[in-house]
Amino acid sequence: MGLEWSDINFNNNSISIYRTSQYLYHEKQIITKTPKNETSRRIISLPAELFPLLKEYRIYWFEYSQNVEIQCNRLFIQQSGKPLYPGTINFWLKRFLKENDLPVVSAHSLRHTNITLQILNGIPLRQVSARAGHANSATTSIIYSHALQSADVAAAEKLAEVLPLKRNSS
């Protein structure tokens, strides 16, 4: 929710994570914060296929901003031009899932899915950890031990394919 247009590098297909948004219920306001630790501030590469969509959205966003007093440079804003409430993404996702008869998940669970898929597809744990913004790969290892175990089983199966074991027929 803290992503701003200046955080997107269209030439390198990457985004910089420098800030987060948080809604303070008692104060009834959205504040900008730095991520929770130094490693949470990061630059991550994204699939090149995503950037034409971002360019299209950027055109829409700038056209929209001509008619509204934009109060921030965030990608995701309210109709009034203020930063979007952090909970809005979960609201939209829940509605989308219901309309499409899909299982209910949270936006945060999509983060877990992304990290698990990286592990299961052989991305080195250190790289997965860095992309997730974890302080060290031990954190990733503990949280995603189930995926690491599955990856270990898959590695054993691949070894069996490459090095077929001959059995004695006694």
pLDDT of 72 reads 85
pLDDT of 169 reads 59
pLDDT of 53 reads 97
pLDDT of 101 reads 97
Query: Quick one: DSSP state of residue 167?
Result: P
pTM over 0.85: no
Domain with 56 in it: 1-86
User: Is 170 a member of any domain?
Assistant: no
pLDDT of 170 reads 56
CA–CA dist 18, 108 (Å, integer): 18
Where is the domain boundary, 86, 119, 148? 86
CA–CA dist 144, 37 (Å, integer): 20
If asked whether residues 2 and 74 sit together in one domain, one would say: yes
If asked whether residues 77 and 125 sit together in one domain, one would say: no
If asked whether residues 21 and 100 sit together in one domain, one would say: no
User: Is 168 a member of any domain?
Assistant: no
Q: What 3-state DSSP class applies to 104?
A: coil
User: Is 101 a member of any domain?
Assistant: yes
CATH number for the domain spanning 2: value is 1.10.443.10
Q: Is the CB of residue 16 less than 8 Å from the CB of residue 1? A: no
User: Is 169 a member of any domain?
Assistant: no
pLDDT of 104 reads 92
pLDDT of 167 reads 64
- Residue 16 pairs in a beta bridge with 43
Non-local CB neighbours of 121 within 8 Å, separated by 6+ positions: none
Q: What 3-state DSSP class applies to 4?
A: strand
If asked whether residues 49 and 119 sit together in one domain, one would say: no
E strands along the chain, which residues? Answer: 8-9, 14-17, 20-24, 29-33, 42-45
If asked whether residues 82 and 10 sit together in one domain, one would say: yes
Written as tens digits, the pLDDT of the chain (170 aa) is 899 999 999 999 999 999 988 889 899 888 889 888 888 899 999 999 999 999 999 999 999 988 888 888 999 998 888 889 989 999 999 999 999 999 999 988 899 989 988 988 889 999 999 999 998 888 888 888 877 777 777 778 877 888 877 666 55
Whole-Å CA distances, 109 to 66, 116, 141, 158: 35, 10, 17, 29
CA–CA dist 83, 74 (Å, integer): 7
Our count of domains for the chain comes to 2
